[in-house]
Amino acid sequence: MRVIVDLTRCQGYGQCAFLAPEVFAMRGEEALVYDPDADDAQREHVLRAAAACPVQAIHVEWMAIQHKGMRTAAARPPRGDDDGFRKTGHIVIVGASLAGGRAAGVLRREGFTGALTVIGDELYEPYDRPPLSKQVLAGRVPADHTLLPHLSEIEAEWLSGAPATGLDLVAKRVTLADGREVPFDRLLIATGARARPWPNEAEAALDGVLALRTMDEAIGLRECLAAGPRRVLVIGAGFTGSEVASVCRELDVPVTVVERGPAPLVGALGGVIGAVAADLQRAHGVDLRCGVTVEALEGDADGRFRSAQLSDGTTVEADVAIVALGAIRNVEWLEDSGLAAGVWGVACDAGCRAFDINGLVTDDVFVAGDVARFPHPIYSYQFMALEHWGNAVAQAEIAAHNMLSDQMHRWPHLSLPIFWSNQFGTNIKSVGVPTFADEVAIAHGSVAERRFVAVYGNQGRVTAAVTFDQAMWLEHYQHLIERAAPFPPASHTADRRGPMIPVPAEVPERIEATQVTVVVTGHDPAERRASLVRGNR
């Protein structure tokens, strides 16, 4: 029995843990963990839990999460496009993870009966990634319990273990690693991202140096943790690194976290809340070292990782090193394709239509998920690429709908980013873009108790909110962001502990994509063209 909890909606009330304790459990005040592949004997308990959930976040046997306004399966799709394409067209989706699988389901639900091909580089069925760094790593559930419900049963040609290596926009075909060519009428790019590897290849090859992004990587890391290492070194204190450190402490494994910034999560939440995350880690026994970097990984004569040299001259002895340095978007296969694809992803408009390198919108190529770089009107139309579960789902639904619609019936992707992380028994959630802010204020609760709501503002408007074990407030602040409410917001709730005093948010400066250079050639408007130049010139 496949179970999915939309943790972007879950507010941690915990009724599910009482009604189906064999499937759901609360870690701390609001941090929910669950078995995505529960035993069928638990079906009645899970269905009761789903019915009792105040926010209807539990779904059984199907991916029911859908964009506001998205029609149900029984609704007749809009006739914005010709019926001939719906019946005889060929849609190819490159990327068989959450976004690609979700888009495939929506295409069928919206009445597309033509040929559908889904290309994936992994041999596994589509699976859910968030449980890998939580339930799977902690040993609560096996990795194969993370398979997404029924996605592989969608009527489509699933080409697993077949990475795409090239795209010909003129001929409308995708080239695969094995030499096959797959033609298409319309294409969805949903190739996502991969873990950034350790830059020194020889050091990265040491036994015990691992990353965490895929199911195979989660299985390998779980085996290392189960073996009882003397210490684990985590390189990077973003969300993945912090969650790995949390699991280590839960398993009573000593862990050292090395972060080049001033505190954990600064790149996502800013320095003020990052300092709270630092206190949280140290309170749970993490050896947290900020403001330093790992300069070298060292192994023994048998090629096993044994220690790391830090920039402050110290040495960390450990058996396992987790490289958590962020992600690389999978765009290499699009080089020379003519699309605007680079280190930040594939550029597209708010309707998920890809841009070519001249900045023109393509009619038949769409983008969704981690690999998409899109403008968001709320944030001054700045382009952003989000590695969020909720964004992958919502954007895939918008892209699939728009692939079957004409201009009059297309929808914009306007969903606010929502992110969650369970670490050290604390449920951390955010809505909006916290780094798009100049100030932050504590609106509810207590920082000292690590149970609070932090509200972010930019030029006098609310732009984001972050909660620590206060998820019930997230929807309220989502509405304030959407309405461009004044910052600091008015609040007269009982859990206010004092005046709301804004302070500088201490967000990092935005990094420009300097790795890509654009050259414009030609004189006449009919011949003016842009081209990408990679590397030094």
Check residue 63 and give its pLDDT. 55
Q: What is the model's pTM?
A: 0.90
Select from 212, 249, 205, 204 the least CA-distant residue to 231.
249
Check whether the bond before 130 is cis (ω within 30° of 0).
Answer: no
Check residue 467 and give its pLDDT. 97
Are residue 334 and residue 403 in the same domain, yes or no?
A: yes
Q: Are 65 and 6 in contact (CB under 8 A)?
A: yes
The token duo for 287 is 């050896």
In the numeric block, the tokens 């929910």 are attached to 32
Calpha distance 285→2 (Å, rounded): 35
Provide the 8-state DSSP code for 197. Answer: P
Q: Are 11 and 26 in contact (CB under 8 A)?
A: no
**Rounded to the nearest 5°, which phi and psi values hold at 186?**
-140, 150
| Span 66-72, average pLDDT | 43
In a domain? residue 75: no
pLDDT tens digits, 261-292? 999 999 999 999 999 999 999 999 999 999 99
State CA 359 to chain mean position distance. Answer: 26
Select from 388, 487, 406, 527 the least CA-distant residue to 99.
388
Calpha distance 137→361 (Å, rounded): 42
- Single-letter code of the amino acid located at 335: E
Residue 493 has pLDDT above 90, yes or no: no
| Domain at 3, CATH number | 3.30.70.20
Residues in the chain: 537
pLDDT tens digits, 231-251? 999 999 999 999 999 999 999
Count structural domains, the chain: 4
Are residue 156 and residue 86 in the same domain, yes or no?
A: yes
| Domain at 502, CATH number | 3.30.390
Number of H helices, E strands in the chain: 12, 35
Domain range for 134:
80-194+330-409
pLDDT tens digits, 428-469? 999 999 999 999 999 999 999 999 999 999 999 999 999 999
What pLDDT band is residue 4 in, cutting at 50, 70 and 90? Answer: confident
- Report the sign of the C-alpha dihedral through residues 328, 331, 336, 341, in that order: negative
DSSP per position, 283-302: HTT-EEEES--EEEEEE-TT
Domain boundary among 383, 409, 435: 409
Give strand pairing partners of 366: 188, 353
| Span 203-222, average pLDDT | 96
Are residue 181 and residue 228 in the same domain, yes or no?
A: no
- Which alpha helices (H) appear in 270-411, and where do they start and end? 271-283, 389-403
Residue 98, classed as helix, strand or coil, is: helix
pLDDT tens digits, 141-193? 998 888 887 666 788 999 999 899 999 999 999 999 999 999 999 999 999 99
Are residue 464 and residue 491 in the same domain, yes or no?
A: yes
Are residue 206 and residue 317 in the same domain, yes or no?
A: yes
Mention every residue, 6+ apart, whose C-beta is less than 8 A from residue 395: 99, 352, 368, 369, 372, 374, 413, 415
